[in-house]
Structure 1
């Protein structure tokens, strides 16, 4: 029985079925597998039986000559193996999220070009060492969602037993200490004009510090973000500050230049629409999913081989122009790259005593990077409503895969949002936290006020 439990990578309901508590379950998980049949970060090291997913061999740890984020493609010589569209969708639908199937049925020109699979994602060696050292101490609080006793700079649940553990691996995946970029949110107006909202984004990840032994060391802070709006002119100078916690809903503040004051912003959370997006986009859709995990129950469906966006170097290339990328109905298909990978599938349903406009979400999370690659979102009647997909690419500078660009399609309104697009931005800096260009002193209400009064 014990060996059977150790091999299990399915829902935590298994423990309840055989009368084992969560603490006992953690003690039974075989963390010796890390670095053996599993990568140091919890993925299956072996490839799949058909050979379409190769074995993990350490990821992309050295950049090709002349490469930097937004310039160059380590896999640029690859050719598509095949394309999926509305004509051959039946052949591949078992490997596709429901949202991709819906988009192909809604838009005849929508297609997915599938390339050879490269398992480019990794993390620094120290993250693997700390993951193995501290994984047994991580646990979920008695409320069923908040994180306790997890050490920084590690994957808290490398061998997850339930959906909430997978979600915490996503939220705390290693992305160095911080990053900085100038990026845009884009959408096509009903008449065809391209609307652009440009901003500076500063993000700080104190939990990636090896000095952090538990959430208490950081007062349960998981990450901090500061957004500084540049355009349109009517909103220029607005600033948004967010503190994301491990044990409670996020805190937010807004600076309005016309009022020259900082206000707390409790509405900048959950399913509140983001200003300027025609209610097509909610706050907790930022970065694919953000904020507290308290409104949903998370069921671990299991791990599947699926066709997902991956190694998105062509998409993020700074030679691209927004006017060419943002089509009327969908993102330019020529710059999208898809590969077959194993992903964790987590189904989230709203708790009986909570509310959210999305009654159900289905998350698809990469096994190698713990990044969120795709989300299907459903209304209260069970209808698929919105479809969101992210980019993913390895950055050898920080020994980690990262995401910026992502899209959210509204199947009812038949419109979409493209957010985090950096192609025409001045700066894309993933080493900002390591080298001190982003630090903790930037992310407080006093600094927000000072910056606004300059």
Structure 2
């Protein structure tokens, strides 16, 4: 799928490369949900050669001794094969362009592939609401904003276009809120490891079944609060983000030296993140965040691909950052890959807009609508950055979730690792469900209060 030329849209070549034709609106048959499709729209059956199993409900009960970062239900799985420079030609059709580029660029870079497990469960309420509400969500007349959708449901379980897939991702179920101590890591050119640590508190009002329409959340998609703990030069900084369903996000920053909260209109799109050495843009947070207004999104289809999955090794707290963060790439033994079906969406910048990434190609897990991989291209069509996520089943919320992800810059030949939790305090995935995270803390007055205490 090199650069996704237009010729790939022909039916014969789509079939050759493993894509299926995208369903059109008239063909959307929502009666299939819960039958041949899972309740949120994935193909329930396995694939032809058995390398992708059938979905049987996912992981609904916790393995013995499980807490996030402790325990791997698939630890006994044997390695099937590794993909590296020596056998790339054999497996290249199952890889995004970015993985191919990384294998070619870095000696020793490899993908360790294990048996596939469709571990992502679906909360019963989400399953029931997705089926009952199917067909009711609406995209606005501008082609990107979400005009109508209800909470605790996948808005477009049988997507007709790329923008619908993007909203499935943005509103995927991860419970109402969560909290974790996260680290942002990169290797300096001299080899030393740089770390910025922060508390991240996230609130997802659209994961609440009480939400019947966008007005019920004041048009809010998500609220994010980041409190910087280190390095000492930045300790005490706080960032507050409100992401919306119909407009550009609003952001505020608290600077402890000034003891003031300021609006941060530049904390959006392709503005570099502080401390990233210009390797990382704001809208790369959580693989993609913010408004969808600068791109046209084309749904290419679905493909069987080797992707990061069941990344329990990567969140294992027995690891250290020195062990995980290599000079050129993430420790290859810490990342697990499996073959799964993914939705592929190509985003190109609109003629009247601008963005440093002229094109992005997104790969979404069919079972959870999580974003597993992104390839990012410059204005000349050159592959510039490659981002991959993590994914693991969390029985306590009856769904899959993710924190860790990495972004490789092929031009600078450096990478960042964000959302890493191994050396932080415990991950609280049920904070929103249990009332430990609520809407009342996500405002500028709360930033000011926390900064002055």
The alignment's TM-score, normalised by the length of structure 2, stands at 0.95
Task: Give 1:232's aligned residue.
Answer: 231
Task: Give 2:52's aligned residue.
Answer: 53
Residues 352-386 of structure 1, C-alpha deviations (whole Å, 9 max, x = no match): 00000000000000000100000000000000000
Answer whether contact 1:310 1:337 (CA < 8 A) is retained: yes
Q: C-alpha distance in 1, partners of 2:383/2:272?
A: 19
Residue 109 of structure 1, CA deviation = 0.5
Answer whether contact 1:11 1:299 (CA < 8 A) is retained: no
User: Does 2:97 match 1:98?
Assistant: yes
Residue 315 of structure 1, CA deviation = 0.8
Aligned pairs for 1:190-229 (under 5 A) are 190-229=189-228
Q: C-alpha distance in 2, partners of 1:211/1:71?
A: 33
Q: C-alpha distance in 1, partners of 2:63/2:207?
A: 26
Residue 407 of structure 1, CA deviation = 0.2
User: Does 2:325 match 1:326?
Assistant: yes
Task: Give 1:341's aligned residue.
Answer: 340
Task: Give 2:74's aligned residue.
Answer: 75
Number of aligned pairs? 435
Structure 1 unaligned residues grouped into runs of 5+: 1-7, 15-24
Q: C-alpha distance in 2, partners of 1:331/1:44?
A: 32
Residue 9 of structure 1, CA deviation = 7.2
Q: C-alpha distance in 1, partners of 2:416/2:282?
A: 13
Answer whether contact 1:386 1:409 (CA < 8 A) is retained: yes
Answer whether contact 1:135 1:150 (CA < 8 A) is retained: no
Answer whether contact 1:229 1:238 (CA < 8 A) is retained: yes
Residue 10 of structure 1, CA deviation = 4.5
Q: C-alpha distance in 2, partners of 1:331/1:130?
A: 39
Q: C-alpha distance in 2, partners of 1:219/1:9?
A: 38
Task: Give 2:385's aligned residue.
Answer: 386
Q: C-alpha distance in 2, partners of 1:242/1:277?
A: 19
Q: C-alpha distance in 2, partners of 1:256/1:450?
A: 13
Task: Give 2:107's aligned residue.
Answer: 108
Task: Give 1:253's aligned residue.
Answer: 252
Task: Give 1:30's aligned residue.
Answer: 29
Task: Give 1:282's aligned residue.
Answer: 281
Task: Give 2:407's aligned residue.
Answer: 408
Answer whether contact 1:251 1:266 (CA < 8 A) is retained: yes
Q: C-alpha distance in 2, partners of 1:214/1:318?
A: 40
Task: Give 1:376's aligned residue.
Answer: 375
Task: Give 2:298's aligned residue.
Answer: 299
Task: Give 1:144's aligned residue.
Answer: 143
Q: C-alpha distance in 2, partners of 1:11/1:43?
A: 13
Task: Give 1:367's aligned residue.
Answer: 366
User: Does 2:162 match 1:188?
Assistant: no
User: Does 2:437 match 1:438?
Assistant: yes
Task: Give 1:168's aligned residue.
Answer: 167
Answer whether contact 2:20 2:303 (CA < 8 A) is retained: no
Q: Secondary structure at the match of 1:197?
A: strand
Q: C-alpha distance in 1, partners of 2:291/2:178?
A: 21
Residues 55-89 of structure 1, C-alpha deviations (whole Å, 9 max, x = no match): 00000001111111000100000011000001100
Q: Secondary structure at the match of 1:137?
A: coil
Q: C-alpha distance in 2, partners of 1:33/1:11?
A: 16
Structure 2 unaligned residues grouped into runs of 5+: 1-18
Residues 302-325 of structure 1, C-alpha deviations (whole Å, 9 max, x = no match): 000000000000110000000010
Q: C-alpha distance in 1, partners of 2:66/2:211?
A: 32
Residues 230-268 of structure 1, C-alpha deviations (whole Å, 9 max, x = no match): 000000000000000000010000000000010000000
Task: Give 1:241's aligned residue.
Answer: 240
Task: Give 1:124's aligned residue.
Answer: 123
Residue 217 of structure 1, CA deviation = 1.1
The list of structure 1 runs, each at least 4 consecutive aligned residues, that deviate by more than 2 angstroms after superposition, is 8-12
Q: C-alpha distance in 2, partners of 1:63/1:158?
A: 27
Task: Give 1:396's aligned residue.
Answer: 395
Q: C-alpha distance in 1, partners of 2:28/2:448?
A: 48
